[in-house]
Structures are given as C-alpha cells and as structure tokens.
Amino acid sequence: MFDVVTSFLELGIKHIIPEGFDHILFVLGLFLISPQIKPLLKQATIFTIAHSIALILVAKEFILPNPSIIEPLISISIVFVAIENIFFTQINYRRYLVIFLFGLIHGMGFASAFIESSKNQTYFFTSLFSFNIGVEIGQIIILLLAYYIIGKPYGSETWYRKKIVIPVSLLIAIIALYWTCIRLFIHV
C-alpha cells in the first residue's frame, strides 16, 4: 500500500511539475490578480474542490469526457482567466464561480493521467487520493514560488498591476490561445 501512495503521489506532482505547463499557467493566472495569501487560498480551495469532484466522477466513470473537447476547454479557461486579470482589478463572486467551473474541466483533464495509471489497481481510492494530493502539492509549490518571488516583494507596489499583472497575463493568454488552436486542430 505504501508503494501505491508514493507512486500516485509522485504521479500527481509530476502531472503539474514538469508536465503540467497548462495547469501551471492557470494557477499563475489565479495568483496574478491578487498576490495576497487569503484571496489566493480561497481561489485555490475552490479550484481544488471542483477538480477533485470531476476527478472522482471521471475515475468512477459517472461521466466520460471527450479529450478533444476537454483539452481545448482547458486552454480556453487559461485564456479567460488571463484576460480577466487584464480587465478586472478585484476578485468577486463571479470569479469564484468561474474558477469552480474551470476546476471541473481541469479535473477531467487530470483524470486521464490518473485513469491510465490506475487500471487494475487494488487500492482505487488510496491511489485516487494520493494522486489528488500530489496534484495539490505541485500547485502549492508553484503558488509558493510565485508568492515569494513576485507577490511578497512586489504585490503591494503601485506599479505591480501595470508592470507585472497585465504583461504576464497577456503572455499567458497568447500562449493559451495558441494551445487552443493547436488542440482544436489536432482533435478535429
């Protein structure tokens, strides 16, 4: 059982670092609008709850998402959050709803990596829980790095939005828009 926990924990982390560049950009998009810990934790918690629900539903085959739809939606969600960062300066209830909905979509994306590795697995829920914790560890690493490199030293500066939020969000949106086109083209 220890081997199951460690292997799925590692798989979850690996799905974010280094293989989950799209998920890293999404989480960074959540971070940029408000680099303080409390709003960041609230957004991350909502995202975690949503992607955990979707991961369980897909892993137990209650829903069977089509990757040719989910993958472009994941990249579109990144574009959306990045553009929202450019045009809005504060987090409101609508952003939390959007994060929850996008968390469901990202959870369906996480599920494909989990399902491939969990076939013929005796400890299904242990492996599912371990994988999800691994994903969270990967996201927390990214968020802590962003907080200590960008948020803590620069987040309260008057120029933070103009020199960090807007250009980085624009770059994230361009990358994710490119991925959207690629994913739509590949899955057509």
pLDDT (tens digit per residue) in 105-122: 988 987 776 777 666 567
pLDDT in the model for residue 77: 93
pLDDT in the model for residue 3: 86
Low-confidence ranges of the chain (pLDDT < 70): 113, 117-121, 187-188
- Asked if residue 18 has a cis previous peptide bond (ω within 30° of 0), the answer is yes
pLDDT in the model for residue 121: 65
pLDDT in the model for residue 186: 75
pLDDT in the model for residue 139: 87
Report how far apart the first and last C-alpha atoms of the chain are (Å, whole number). Answer: 41
Report CA-CA distances (Å) from 68 to 41, 71, 144, 150, 188.
Answer: 31, 6, 32, 35, 8
pLDDT in the model for residue 59: 82
pLDDT in the model for residue 119: 63
Q: Count CA atoms within 13 Å of residue 4 on its CB side.
A: 14
Q: For the CA atoms of 173, 177, 183, 186, what is the dihedral angle to 10 degrees?
A: -150
pTM of the model: 0.87
pLDDT in the model for residue 187: 58
